[in-house]
Chain A
Amino acid sequence: MSGLPNRARALKATDDPWWAKAIVLAVMLGFLGMALFLPVVTVFFEALRKGFGPALAAIRDPDALAAIKLTLLTAAIAVPFNIVFGLNAAWAVAKHDFPGKSFLITLIDLPFSVSPVVAGLIYVLIFGAQGWFGDWLLDHDIKIIFAVPGIVLATIFVTFPFVAREVIPLMQEQGVDQEEAAVSLGAGGLKTFLRVTAPNVRWGLLYGVLLCNARAMGEFGAVSVVSGHIRGETDTMPLHVEILYNEYNIVGAFAVAALLCLLAIVTLVLKTLADAAEPDLGRRAH
């Protein structure tokens, strides 16, 4: 038996030799270490360079607190909006058939491939002083650009696809059998949705909400265009990081950045838990 080289090779056909494994693992760890691990370490190292005191002071600064509040407010509007839209869109796409369906899915994905700066620009062109509704808004004393509504709008634009595209594949896989059964047993449309459809996609929904929230709190380009960078008023956390960094307040910039970094780490931990519950999540990269 062992004299047959082909046979011996076939037994280990899908296995790599130990040295190949070692090289692959070393290359991977080296690359991820350089690209991901080092930047995160840098954030906390720079934030705590002068100890906890200055870092905490930078976060307790009134402008920083205002930025944190604005970021939380923006996420608190954008995320629920996207949950409603995402479930609605997924329901329409996955449980119904209509002409132009794949085109609609492409449209939902569109904000992913539009530059965040362009996303901000479009709202400036519509609601800005020179924009379509500029004069009307000025007459009615409504501020959208360089104010909170513009920030919320730009954030909604860039986070638009997150929930929908996580939930659509799950809903499609599950088909409509359970819904039909529920309806035939007398459940109404809303009841069917809340009791059957929504629970079936809960992990996908959680996954989408996590990514949506991370992006909503961390968005920079789109928000930077519409915000006007008014300290204490229209500065979100990422914009505040930029201001502090450009003022050479390195400890302050990295202290606020460290908060955002903690948010990212929490997001990844929760995401891993959702992954464990439903291993096929995120099959489509974002």
Chain B
Amino acid sequence: MGVTLSLLSLIVLIPLSAVAIKAAGEGPSGFLRAALSTRALAAYRLSFGASAIAAAINGVFGLVTAWALVRYDFFGKRVISAVVDLPFALPTAVAGIALASLYSPKGWVGQILTQWGIKAAYNPTGVVIALTFIGLPFVVRTLEPVLRDLSADVEEAAASLGAARWQVIGRVILPALAPAWLTGFAMAFARAVGEYGSVIFIAGNMPYRSEIAPLLITIQLEQYDYVGAASIAVVMLAASFAMLFVINTAQSLARRYGG
């Protein structure tokens, strides 16, 4: 207990407070000027917007994947199940350069997209692609256990009362999955907002356009603007705490109503 708390304070809590102290270093006006500059606002908009889109994409495909993994038997299921965790195991920089070369105008996918007039890499679209990759396992992994525990009785009861299959799915299964789905969505979103390594290679990093908030922090640091870097970090931290709160609430909802 004592060891746990002191290590936690030493490595996590005290260092985190350093950010807040630094951000307050030049008074409230200094903090606001740095945290709410037009460049910073554009970066938040991209980071939060792209993260929400990526989490939504994962929400849809994660549900499909979890459904297949729990409900169906098919050849190679074990392999697919293992592969879903790849974004946890693959270093983000590796994912970053791989995605950048795939989606660049000369890459395998980029070539095809260019023919259709879509510019994927070096564009906000590229940010969404990278964030979709790193958030992929969250929705699948939070839905799987809930889907597995979902009792077949309810479905059979609904069907025997005359509900069609799509009604069973829409009225019985999906509502039961909602809290877990929300948890997975929030986790994917929270992870995406802070993500750096996989994004910077594919984003193009143009200020006001394809520059994510974590990158702006590193840029300010390189210019020795510590207050600026810390101010943006405080905004990001506040968002992290808010997301942590949402995740915890969703999880306790899941425990109460799910499965």
Contacts and interface: CB of A to CB of B under 8 A. Distances in A.
Interface of A: 6-7, 9-10, 13-14, 16-17, 20-21, 24-25, 27-29, 31-32, 34-40, 42-43, 46, 85, 88-89, 92-93, 96, 98, 104, 106-118, 121-126, 130-132, 153, 156-157, 160, 211, 214-215, 217-221, 224-225, 237-239, 241-242, 245, 250, 253-254, 257, 260-261, 263-265, 267-269, 271-272, 280, 282-286
Contacts of A88: 3-4, 7
Contacts of A6: 160, 162
B40 interface: no
A88 B4 CA distance: 6
B174 interface: no
Given A16-B71, A238-B94, A260-B94, A115 B240 contact: yes
Interface in B68-118: 68, 71-72, 74, 78, 80-99, 101-102, 107-109
A253 B95 CA distance: 12
Given A92-B4, A115-B240, A130-B226, A268 B158 contact: no
A31 B65 contact: yes
A107 B82 CA distance: 29
A122 B16 CA distance: 6
Given A9-B159, A21-B72, A217-B91, A106 B196 contact: no
A268 B90 CA distance: 10
Contacts of B107: 42
A115 B232 CA distance: 11
Contacts of A111: 12
A122 B15 contact: yes
Interface of B: 1, 3-5, 7-8, 11-16, 18-19, 22, 61, 64-65, 67-68, 71-72, 74, 78, 80-99, 101-102, 107-109, 132-133, 136-138, 140-142, 145, 152, 155-156, 158-160, 162, 165, 168, 184, 187, 190-191, 193-197, 201, 213-215, 217-218, 221, 224, 226, 229-230, 233, 236-237, 240-241, 243-244, 247-248
Given A13-B156, A108-B8, A221 B92 contact: yes
Contact of A37 (B68, B83, B137): B83
Contact of A261 (B90, B196, B224): B90
Given A40-B90, A285-B187, 17 more contacts: A6-B160, A13-B168, A14-B152, A37-B83, A38-B102, A42-B102, A43-B98, A85-B4, A115-B217, A116-B194, A121-B221, A214-B89, A221-B194, A238-B94, A245-B97, A265-B89, A284-B142
Given A17-B165, A125-B19, A286-B88, A40 B98 contact: yes
A244 to B, nearest CB: 9
Contact of A39 (B19, B84, B95): B95
The 8 closest A-B pairs by CB, nearest first: A218-B91, A115-B194, A220-B197, A13-B159, A221-B196, A285-B141, A39-B98, A122-B15
Pick the most buried of A7, A157, A220: most chain B CB atoms within 10 A of its CB. A220
B159 A264 contact: no
B92 A220 contact: yes
Nearest to B190: A113
Contacts of B133: 35-36, 39
Contact of B156 (A10, A34, A245): A10
B249 to A, nearest CB: 12
A89 to B, nearest CB: 4
B74 A25 contact: yes
Given A13-B158, A121-B230, A27 B64 contact: yes
Nearest to B85: A268
Given A24-B72, A39-B99, A242 B230 contact: no
B132 to A, nearest CB: 6
Nearest to B7: A85
Given A104-B5, A125-B22, A218-B90, A118 B217 contact: yes
7 contacts: A36-B86, A39-B90, A40-B86, A104-B4, A122-B233, A153-B11, A214-B88
Given A13-B159, A122-B19, A117 B86 contact: no
Contacts of A46: 98, 101
Nearest to A9: B159
A96 to B, nearest CB: 7
Contact of A13 (B13, B155, B214): B155
Given A121-B221, A260-B90, A285 B142 contact: yes
Contacts of A217: 91
A115 to B, nearest CB: 3
A109 B251 CA distance: 14
Contacts of A39: 90, 95, 98-99, 102, 133
Nearest to B92: A220
Contact of A110 (B12, B132, B197): B12
Nearest to B140: A285
